[in-house]
Chains A and B, each alone.
Chain A
Amino acid sequence: MSDNQPDDGSKRDFIFLATGAVAAAGGASLAWPLVAQMGKAADTLAAGSIEIDLSKIAEGQQLKMLWRGKPVFVRHRTAAEIEVAEAVELTELKDPEADVDRLIAGPSGAVNQKYLVMVGVCTHFGCVPVGEAGDFEGWYCPCHGSHYDTSGRIRKGPAPKNMVIPPYEYISDNVIKVG
């Protein structure tokens, strides 16, 4: 067999590499659906937004609503709570953010400091913090002892970030739409 066939190694190498390349591309294109199926399904992504009527929340009261499987806190803060949140120097904060930057402006363009809207999930490992508790009179996470202030900012404990502000907008003076 080898007598009448001159050994041409380069042809073999080419076929070997070309086959390998096609197999690798095929493998990768098959692997992608297997990985991507784990992600959020269309119905999960489409999970609607919720509307919240702020006028029903009395001063000093907190409303808890389920949004995307997580609780959303809407707190009608007292004047004292707003004052405390405003008075904090940014340099004292682990995740510096002014109180006013954590609020979204209403239709008039002005920020209503009374209503704090945030995802009620501790940024440490995702537990739901307890309200009006902790060293800063804001929220306290019972899981690993993170303390949040009246603006939902992390002040003490293992959590790295302030509680997250969800995307929301005022659709009228007293109603917001979260999501």
Chain B
Amino acid sequence: MSGHPSTYEPKYAAAKWMDQRLPIIRMGADFMTFPSPRNLNYWYTFGGILALCLVVQILSGVILAMHYVADVDKAFASVQRIRRDVPFGWLLQSMHAVGASMFFLAVYMHMFRGLYYGSYKAPREVIWILGCAIYLAMMATAFLGYTLPWGQMSFWGATVITGFFGAVPVVGESLQQWLLGGYSVDNATLNRFFALHYLLPFVIAALVGLHVWALHHVGQNNPIGISAKTKEDTLSFHPFYTVKDAFAIAVFFVIFAIFLFYLPDALGHADNYIEADPMKTPPHIVPEWYFLPFYAILRAVPSKLFGILLMLGAIVVLFVLPWLDTHKVRSMRFRPIAKWFFIIFIVMCFILGWCGAGTPSDVAIPIGKGMTFYVLSQIATVYYFAYFLIILPVLGLVEKPLKRPDSITKAVLGEQKSDADLASA
């Protein structure tokens, strides 16, 4: 899996025997000694955090599946039973629900990191595209999973999202009913959602394997975006980055634990503690926080089909980003103009999230006659697309980058010094 020459030497006879038959220990050893740029900062620890998030979700999820009942009459009660009666069910159920939020928190950090340091640029386009595919699969998994507790938000969220397919011209209604297995979200829907919710995490795991493989083939990007050229520019993954990752994971788990033990419902919606009722829509349907920006984009236009296309476009545009940002310099540290547009982009993403949580006709900012969430979401949506489709392509042609250091080592240790100098000092 590694793109660097193997340095593994089997020490024991058994290890040597194995190495000649299935070099799996070698693969692990090469993974641990992978030469990583020496200047990776804490933004680069989210990859490891995300791998652990996936493990937490799969472990807790497999256990929950042993107690959950996928039946419209029993699903809601079975989740309550897990929380109240199953030994440590309260812990595992909260871990899975809070874990989903933590997973998305980490993936957004990871994506913003990639956007800022230009990690999507050649030769890392495939890593980026695989990452986008993982994100898409995560969204699907989270949506399917949110349906399972069969609360009001579960049911109506599923109704709204599957309604998207009904917007497809001509075949929309047939397509929607095929997906639902009926005329509306019902038992058939719940059962297939459960099956797919169990399946998709393993698809994600496979995609993560490819993502890491591609990463190890071309090597990691780093905060200055200059490729590692010499051995001096790199450090062995273990112990340097295993320790750094471990520290970041510990901090991340503290935040996870605060939510898990003190605020298990803070990120959810109270309406999901009411059992699904197909006769009554909750007054204010909102998705989980991690989908709010997309929900705001969906509602930013007064047309059903166009709203859906725009929302899908917001994700599709990520896939083609490597070919939209044509600037040769990867890291925005050396792109004085792009950096500011990037910061505005982040602000706009938060504004979209805020708009997604609000009621479109309510006043968001009291200026003039009052700017509604609807208008605000339109402004932010325009910026979101302009950033990818206009700003980055244009800056690729006109922006003059700052002077960059010659190498990672020089950037870290200064122009004069090198490892040899330090050793003799």
Interface residues of A (CB under 8 A from B): 38-41, 44, 47, 64, 66, 68-71, 124-130, 141-145, 157-160
- A160 → B minimal CB distance (Å): 5
Q: Which residue of A lies closest to B308 (CB)?
A: A125
Establish whether residues A158 and B177, one from each chain, have CB atoms under 8 Å apart when the complex forms: no
| Chain A residues whose C-beta falls within 8 Å of the C-beta of B162 in the assembled complex | 126
A143-B285, A160-B304 known; A69 vs B186 contact (CB < 8 Å): yes
- Rounded to whole Å, the gap between the CB of B156 and the closest CB of chain A is 7
Interface size on B (CB < 8 Å)? 37
Instruction: Please tell me if B7 contacts chain A, counting CB pairs below 8 Å.
Output: no
A47, A64, A69, most chain B CB atoms within 10 A: A69
B302 x A158 contact (CB < 8 A): yes
Query: Closest residue to B186 on the A side, CB-wise?
Result: A69
Is B121 positioned at the interface, with any CB of A under 8 Å from its CB? Answer: no
Within 8 A of A (CB), among B11-31: none
Tell me the bound Cα distance from A145 to B299 in angstroms: 10
B281 A157 Cβ-Cβ under 8 A: no
Q: Measured between alpha carbons, how far is A145 from B360 in the docked complex, in Å?
A: 8
- How distant is the Cα of A142 from the Cα of B156 in the complex, in angstroms? 12
Chain B residue contacts of A71, Cβ below 8 A: 278-279
Tell whether, in the assembled complex, residue A38 and residue B304 are in contact, meaning their CB atoms are under 8 Å apart: no
With CB as the reference atom, state the residue of chain A lying closest to B306.
Answer: A158
Cβ of B87 under 8 Å from chain A: no
The answer on a CB contact under 8 Å between A44 and B183 is yes
**B307 contact from A66, A141, A145, A158, Cβ within 8 A:** A158
Residue in B164, B181, B283 whose Cβ sees the most chain A Cβ within 10 Å: B181
Q: A66-B278, A71-B279, A126-B166 are in contact. List 8 more A-B contacts (CB 8 A).
A: A40-B188, A44-B181, A64-B279, A68-B182, A70-B183, A124-B163, A126-B184, A143-B160
A68 to B283, CA, bound (A): 23
Q: Are the C-beta atoms of A125 and B284 separated by less than 8 Å?
A: no
Q: Which residues of B contact A143 (CB under 8 A)?
A: 156, 160, 281, 285
Interface contact B278-A70, CB-CB below 8 Å: yes
Q: Is the CB of B177 within 8 A of A126?
A: no
Q: Do the beta carbons of A124 and B304 come within 8 Å of each other?
A: yes
A145 to B307, CA, bound (A): 14
Given the complex, which residues of B lie within 8 Å of A158, measured CB to CB?
Answer: 299, 301-304, 307
Chain A contacts for B281, CB-based, 8 A: 127-130, 141-143
B185 within 8 A of A: yes
Contacts of A70 in B (CB 8 A): 183-184, 278
Are the CB atoms of B160 and A40 closer together than 8 Å? no
Known A71-B278, A142-B284: A38·B179 in contact at CB below 8 Å: yes
Inter-chain CA distance A70–B176, complex, in Å, is 14
> In the docked arrangement, what's the CA distance between A38 and B31, Å?
42
Shortest CB-to-CB span from B97 to chain A, Å, is 23
- Selected contact of B279 from candidates A66, A68, A126, CB within 8 Å: A66
> Which of A44, A130, A159 has a CB less than 8 Å from the CB of B304?
A159
Distance of B358 from chain A, by nearest CB (Å): 12
Distance to closest chain B CB from A41 (angstroms):
7
Q: How far is it, in angstroms, between the C-alpha of A129 and the C-alpha of B279 when the chains are bound? A: 10
Chain B residues within 8 Å of A38, by CB: 178-179, 181, 192
B183 lies within 8 A of A142 (CB): no
Q: Sort A-B residue pairs by CB-CB distance and give the 3 closest, nearest first.
A: A69-B184, A125-B163, A68-B183
Q: A38-B192, A143-B281, A157-B302 are in contact. Are A44 and B160 (CB under 8 A)?
A: no
Given contacts A142-B284, A143-B285, contact A39 B177 (CB under 8 A): yes
